[in-house]
Structure 1
Amino acid sequence: MQLNAGCELQFDAKETTPLILMLRPRSGDGQWIMKEEYDITPAVTVTEFTDMYGNLCQRVIAPEGPFSINFSATVQTADDIDVAPGAPYTPIEELPDELLHYTLPSRYCQSDMQGNLAADITNGALPGYDQVEAIRSWIHTNIKYQYGTSNASTSAVDTAQSRVGVCRDYTHLGISLCRSLNIPARMVVGYLYKLDPMDMHAWFEAYVGGRWYTFDATQDKPRGNRITVAYGRDAADVAFTTQFGNMDLNTMRVWVDAVDEAEAEKKAVEPATVPAEAGSTNQTTTAA
C-alpha cells in the first residue's frame, strides 16, 4: 500500500537552540520512499549525517522565537509483516558482531533485572520466535494502554510493576524481556497506518532464526503498512527531536493516509524526488 505520512512540529525557542532531528525514513525492508518534502520555518542551514544505527539525522540551529518543522513522505509499504513460528533461537556465539550490544541492558531496558519474569512468561515456549511471541502476547494482555501514566523517565522495570503505559513502555518491556533471554532486541519508531489514536508509534524487533522480526505488543495481531523512521537500543537513541537549549514544543500533528488508486497510478510513473533542503531525522518528543 502507498501511504502519505508526516508530522508537523511547532516550537517556541526561548533562545538560539541547536537541534538534532530524526524525521526522515529511508528505503529498506518493507518500504520504498517515493517522495519527500521537508519544510522548516524560518529557513535555516541543515546538515545531515547517518548515526551508528543507520538512521538519517539532521542538525539545525533554531533562532529565538517561533520555529516549525513540517515533514511529509509518500511511501510504498508492505501490507503484511513476516511471521515465523518455530524460528530458532540464534546462539550468542553465532550472532554478528554488530548485534551483540542489542543483548545488553540499556537505559530504559534493564534486562539484567527481569530474567525471572521472562522465564515465567516463556515457560514451555520453544526457544526463539515462540518465546518472543509469548512475551508480546503477555504484554498485550497484561499491560493496560493508557495515556498520562508514564513519562520520559519510565523504564521497563517501572512498566512491569505498574502494568500501565503507552507504546514506548510496551516496547521497552518487550525489549528488556527478550534481552534477558539473550535474544537481541531493538526499538523501532515510525508510523502505523490506522493507528488509533494517531501518533508517532513504537514497536520492537527481535533477532531469531538469523534475521530480525517485527513484534508490536499494542496490537492484537500482526499488522503491516508500517513506515520505519529509526532504530536504536531504546528511546534514548530514537528521539524525533533532541534539543540543546530552552525550547518548548507547543503542538505536534501526525498523519498517515492511504494514497487513493488514481493518485497511486500517477505516482508510480513519477521519479522519486528529495527536496534540496531535505535535512536529517531525530526527535525530543517520543512516540506515544
Structure 2
Amino acid sequence: MQLNAGCDLQFQAEGPTPLVLMLRPRSGAGQWIIREEYQITPTVNVTEFTDMYGNLCQRLVAPEGPFSIHFTATVQTADAIDVAPGAPYTPVEDLPDDVLHYTLPSRYCQSDQLSELATQITDGVEPGYDQPEAIRRWINENIRYEYGTSDASTSAVDTAQHRVGVCRDFTHLGISLCRALNIPARMVVGYLYQLDPMDLHAWFEAYVDGRWFTFDATQREPRGNRITVAYGRDAADVAFTTQFGPMTLESMRVWVDALEPEPEETEPAQPTGA
C-alpha cells in the first residue's frame, strides 16, 4: 500500500537552540520512499549525517522565537509483516557482531532485572520466535494502554511494576524481556497506518533464526503498513527531536493516509466497421 505520512511540529525557542532531528525514513526492508518534502520555518542551515544505527539525522540551530518543522513522505509499504512460529533461537555465539550489543541492558531497558519475569512468561515455550511472541502477547494482555501514565524517565522496570503505559513503555518492556532471554531486541519508531489515536509510534524487533522480526505489543494481531524512521537500543537512541537548550514543543500533528492507486491508462476504444 502507498501511504502518505508526516508530521507538523511547532516550537518556541527562548534563544538559539541546537537541534538534532530524526524525521526522514530510509528505503529498506518493507518500505520504499517514493517522494518526501521537508520544510523548516524560518529557513536555517541544515546538515545531515547517518548515525551508528543507520538512521538519517539532521543538525541545525533553531533561532529564538517560533520555529516550525513540516515533513511528509509518500512510501510504498508492505501490507503484512513476516511471522515465523517455531523459528529457532540464534545462539549468542552465532550472532553477527553488529547485533550482539542488542543483548545488553540499556538506559530504559534493564533486562538484567527482569530475568525472573521473562522466564515466567515463556515457561514451556520453545526457544526462538515463539518466545518474543509470547512476550508480546503477555504485554498486550497484561499492561494497560493509557496516556499520561508515564513520562520520559519511565523505564521497563517501572512498567513491569505499574502495569500501565503507552507504546514507548510497551516497547521497552518487550525489549527488556527478550534481552533477559539472550534474544537481541531493538526499538523501532515510525508510523503505523490506522493507529488509533494517531501519533508517532514505537514497536520492537527481535533477532531469531538469523534475522529481525517485528513485534508490536500494542496490537492484538500482526499488522503491516508501517513506516520505519529509526532503530536503536531504546528511546534514548531514537528521539525524533533532541534539543540542547530551552525550547518548548507547543503543538504536534501526525497523519498517515492511504493513497488511492493511480488509474491505469487505457487505449481509447476504436470504432468498428459496419
Q: TM-score, normalised by structure 2?
A: 0.96
Q: Summarize deviations over 1:134-169 as a string: whole Å, max 9, x none.
A: 000000000000000000000000000000000000
**Number of aligned residues:** 265
Structure 2 counterpart of 1:2 = 2
SS of alignment partner, residue 262 of structure 2? helix
Structure 2 counterpart of 1:122 = 122
Q: Distance in 1 between matches of 2:97 and 2:37?
A: 36
- Counterparts of 1:1-288 in structure 2, within 5 Å, are 1-262=1-262
Q: Distance in 1 between matches of 2:153 and 2:245?
A: 19
SS of alignment partner, residue 66 of structure 1? strand
Q: Summarize deviations over 1:230-276 as a string: whole Å, max 9, x none.
A: 0000000000000001100000000000001237x69xxxxxxxxxx
Gaps of 5+ in 2: 266-274
Structure 2 counterpart of 1:284 = none
Q: Distance in 2 between matches of 1:26 and 1:187?
A: 16
Q: Distance in 1 between matches of 2:99 and 2:214?
A: 16
**Match of 2:43, as an amino acid?**
A
- Which structure has the larger Rg over C-alpha atoms? 2
Q: Distance in 2 between matches of 1:216 and 1:201?
A: 10
**Match of 2:31, as an amino acid?**
Q
Q: Distance in 1 between matches of 2:261 and 2:131?
A: 40
Q: Distance in 2 between matches of 1:255 and 1:183?
A: 33
Q: CA RMSD in A?
A: 0.9
Q: Distance in 2 between matches of 1:9 and 1:213?
A: 31
> Among the aligned pairs, what percent are the same residue?
79
**Match of 1:139, as an amino acid?**
I
Q: Distance in 1 between matches of 2:221 and 2:137?
A: 9
RCO higher in 1 or 2 (8 Å CA, sep ≥ 6)? 1
Q: TM-score, normalised by structure 1?
A: 0.91
Q: 4+ runs of 1 displaced by more than 2 Å?
A: none
Q: Distance in 2 between matches of 1:148 and 1:63?
A: 30
SS of alignment partner, residue 260 of structure 1? coil
